[in-house]
């Protein structure tokens, strides 16, 4: 699990988004768009889930935001260093077929997660419109790659520092007002995906979201990633990570995803690493 390549995609006020290519021939052989891996940086560490952004013959590409202890530690690894463990591909792959006109909405580091799906949907003959959103210009990633993987690309920034000022869901609403679309697919912060659910519901368009629920084992054993979908308990890691947006109990998910915040801060402080 050696790191073959490393690139800093963005660095804004110390928050970096990092791309790494990791030697993992068996995962590369089987991975499909929408799937993820769980990795351990070191023997004592926790397992964290990351989306498989690209697969090459013998390696996979991961893109991560340095959000807390483990991703910051991973960001310190360099070309030639090896990860302690990695398991995958995990989760269900995205349904790739001809839908017709599709909009993909990516927010923040969620942009990395829509990239493989956009590529595959375009290859399947869909007309692919991509909407990307970032807090500010310096946090925007994969613009060139997604221009290539789409038929139309729209970019918004919260602060107006690049392209249009606003939120992805404003652009989504305008597109749905003007034209008919067959599917919306979205990955990003939970409040953004919740808003995508509301907007698409009002236009009666099917929307799929890929949830970043908190995970521990990522293989269906601990129940940490549970989410209520259509009134039933589902495990994001084995039943998802994609679900139909309008069926999700968003309020419950928002509460569950904050549950360890104090402890995560405490761990960072304890280790005095960052
Ligand atoms: C299926 C799946 C795929 C993912 N793919 C990617 C990816 O491709 N790139 C990427 O950067 N991140 C991705 N994530 C999120 C990533 O797993 C978390 O950012 C990571 O686990 C945080 O660990 P940490 O120890 O660095 O931060 P922590 O100290 O654990 O957390 C730091 C902050 O991030 C929040 N956080 C922690 N875990 C998650 C999570 N799972 N989702 C959202 N917020 C979280 C915490 O509440 C806290 O506010 C994915 C999550 C899932 C479930
Ligand atoms: S992370 Fe443990 S069941 Fe999904």
Is 216 buried (19+), middle (13-18) or exposed (0-12) by CB count in 10 A?
Answer: middle
Task: State the distance from the centre of ligand 1 to the C-alpha of 214, rounded, in angstroms.
Answer: 7
Residues with CB under 6 A from ligand 2: 215-218, 220-225, 235-237
Task: State the distance from the centre of ligand 1 to the C-alpha of 186, rounded, in angstroms.
Answer: 16
Summarised one tens digit per residue, pLDDT across range 228-247 is: 999 999 999 999 999 999 99
Give the closest ligand to the alpha carbon of residue 111: 1
- Taking the whole predicted model, whether its pTM rises above 0.85 is answered as yes
Beta carbons of 251 and 228 less than 8 angstroms apart: no
Beta carbons of 20 and 6 less than 8 angstroms apart: yes
Task: State the distance from the centre of ligand 1 to the C-alpha of 200, rounded, in angstroms.
Answer: 25
Which atom of ligand 2 lies at the shortest distance from residue 238's CA? 4
Task: State the distance from the centre of ligand 1 to the C-alpha of 189, rounded, in angstroms.
Answer: 10
Annotation: CATH topology of 3-90: Elongation Factor Tu (Ef-tu); domain 3 (2.40.30)
Say if residue 269's pLDDT is above 70. Answer: no
Domain spans in the chain, listed from the N-terminal domain onward: 3-90, 101-257
Q: 174 by DSSP, 3-state: which? A: helix
pLDDT score, position 268: 52
- The arithmetic mean of pLDDT across residues 167-190, rounded, is 96
Give ∠ CA 213-54-258 in degrees, rounded to 5: 15
- The arithmetic mean of pLDDT across residues 95-115, rounded, is 96
Summarised one tens digit per residue, pLDDT across range 106-144 is: 999 999 999 999 999 999 999 999 999 999 999 999 999
Strands across the sheet containing 242-244: 164-165, 152-157, 127-134, 101-107, 183-187, 207-210, 242-244
pLDDT score, position 173: 97
Phi, psi (rounded to 5 degrees) for 178: -85, -35
Beta carbons of 63 and 109 less than 8 angstroms apart: yes
DSSP 218: S
Summarised one tens digit per residue, pLDDT across range 7-29 is: 999 998 888 999 999 999 999 99
Region 101-257: CATH code: 3.40.50.80
The CA distance from 27 to 37, in Å, is 9
**Average pLDDT of the chain to the nearest whole number:** 93
pLDDT score, position 70: 92
Does residue 213 line the site of ligand 1, with CB under 6 A? yes
User: Lowest mean pLDDT: which of 162-166, 239-243, 268-272?
Assistant: 268-272
Instruction: Report the first-to-last Cα separation within the chain, whole angstroms.
Output: 25
Task: State the distance from the centre of ligand 1 to the C-alpha of 67, rounded, in angstroms.
Answer: 7
Q: 112 by DSSP, 3-state: which? A: helix
Summarised one tens digit per residue, pLDDT across range 27-53 is: 999 999 999 999 999 998 899 999 999
pLDDT score, position 257: 76
Which atom of ligand 2 lies at the shortest distance from residue 222's CA? 2
Say if residue 69's pLDDT is above 60. Answer: yes
DSSP string, 58-76: SEEEEEEE--SHHHHHHHT
Which atom of ligand 2 lies at the shortest distance from residue 215's CA? 1
Compute CA 37 distance to the chain's CA centroid, rounded to the nearest angstrom.
12
Which atom of ligand 2 lies at the shortest distance from residue 214's CA? 1
pLDDT score, position 256: 81
């Amino acid at each position: 699990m050696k790191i073959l390549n490393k690139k800093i995609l963005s660095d804004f006020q110390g928050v970096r988004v990092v791309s790494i290519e990791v030697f993992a021939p068996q995962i590369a052989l089987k991975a499909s768009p929408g799937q993820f891996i769980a990795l351990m940086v070191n023997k004592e560490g926790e397992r964290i889930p990351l989306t498989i952004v690209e697969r090459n013959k013998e390696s996979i590409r991961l893109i991560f935001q340095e959000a807390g202890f483990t991703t910051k530690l991973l960001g310190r690894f360099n070309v030639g260093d090896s990860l302690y463990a990695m398991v995958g591909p995990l989760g269900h792959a995205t349904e790739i077929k001809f839908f017709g006109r599709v909009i993909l909405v990516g927010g923040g580091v969620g942009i990395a997660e829509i990239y493989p799906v956009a590529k595959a949907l375009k290859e399947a003959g869909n007309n692919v419109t991509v909407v990307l959103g970032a807090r500010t210009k310096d946090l925007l990633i994969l613009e060139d790659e997604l221009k290539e993987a789409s038929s139309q690309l729209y970019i918004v920034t919260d602060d107006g520092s690049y392209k249009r000022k606003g939120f992805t869901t404003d652009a989504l609403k305008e597109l749905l007002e003007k034209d008919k679309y067959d599917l919306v697919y979205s990955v990003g912060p939970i409040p953004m995906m919740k808003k995508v659910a509301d907007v698409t519901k009002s236009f009666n368009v099917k929307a799929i979201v890929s949830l970043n629920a908190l995970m521990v084992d990522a293989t269906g054993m601990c129940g940490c990633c549970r989410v209520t979908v259509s009134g039933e308990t589902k495990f994001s890691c084995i039943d998802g990570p994609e679900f139909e947006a309008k069926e999700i109990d968003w309020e419950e998910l928002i509460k569950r995803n904050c549950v360890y915040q104090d402890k995560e801060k405490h761990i960072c402080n304890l280790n005095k690493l960052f």
